[in-house]
Amino acid sequence: MPQDLLKATLEHVAASGPRDIYEGDLARSIAADVKAAGGTLSPEDLAAFRAHVREPLAIPYRGGRSTRRRN
């Protein structure tokens, strides 16, 4: 992603709130970009998405512990 576009996107999310990624102008823009690239993601698909917060995976390594987010 070009840095100027990334900056504008982050500013938009800061001003509009994170739900805009799933239900607002940004969701429609994401869906349009995916469709233009041959994909099938729709604004309705994004609106239906719900994130699930989980505990990170803990991995013991050389006497310590590192954490890694699960996908």
Reported as a single tens digit per residue, the pLDDT across 6-33 is 899 999 999 999 899 999 999 999 999 9
Residues 6+ apart with CB under 8 A from 25: 12, 16
Q: Classify residue 38 by its DSSP letter.
A: T
8 Å CB contact between 29 and 37: no
DSSP SS3 for 43: helix
Name the band, by pLDDT with cuts 50, 70 and 90, for residue 70: low
Query: In whole numbers, what is the pLDDT of the chain averaged over residues?
Result: 87
8 Å CB contact between 45 and 39: no
